[in-house]
């Protein structure tokens, strides 16, 4: 005699306890310091450069700073960026 155990293929919800709300957004980027954070994935730096170019053309007085990070981004780099910038644009590539 064999016993057949049937398992449910439906996964339990994950991440609910770690969910976060979106960061506050400024009404404009004019005059702000914008950090461009790259995680070293192929193609991501090109996308960030283009995003920075578009931001600089659209908003007066904006300054851009590029940060080369890792995946996941090191805590020290994030803290440095928080001290030096008002907002961030991040990218991944591939």
For residues 86 and 27, the answer to whether their CB atoms sit within 8 Å is no
Whether this model's pTM surpasses 0.75: no
Buried/exposed code over 29-56 (b: 16+ C-beta within 10 A; e: otherwise): beebbbbbbbbeeeebbebbeebbeebe
For residues 6 and 67, the answer to whether their CB atoms sit within 8 Å is no
Rounded CA separation 71/69 (Å): 7
pLDDT of residue 71: 78
Q: How confident is the model at residue 14 (pLDDT cuts 50, 70, 90)?
A: low
Greater confidence (3 vs 72) lies with 3
pLDDT in tens, 22-65: 878 999 999 999 999 988 888 888 989 999 999 999 999 999 99
pLDDT of residue 18: 65
Going from N- to C-terminal start, the domains of the chain cover 33-91
For residues 92 and 62, the answer to whether their CB atoms sit within 8 Å is no
Task: State the chain's mean pLDDT as an integer.
Answer: 87
């Amino acid at each position: 005699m064999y016993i057949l155990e049937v398992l449910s293929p439906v996964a339990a919800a994950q991440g609910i306890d770690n969910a976060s709300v979106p960061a506050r957004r400024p009404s404009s980027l004019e005059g702000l310091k914008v950090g461009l954070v790259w995680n070293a994935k192929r193609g991501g730096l090109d996308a960030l450069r283009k995003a920075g170019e578009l931001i600089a053309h659209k908003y007066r007085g904006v300054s851009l700073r590029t940060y080369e990070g890792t995946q996941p981004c090191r805590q020290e780099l994030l803290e440095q960026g928080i001290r030096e910038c008002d907002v961030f644009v991040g990218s991944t590539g591939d």
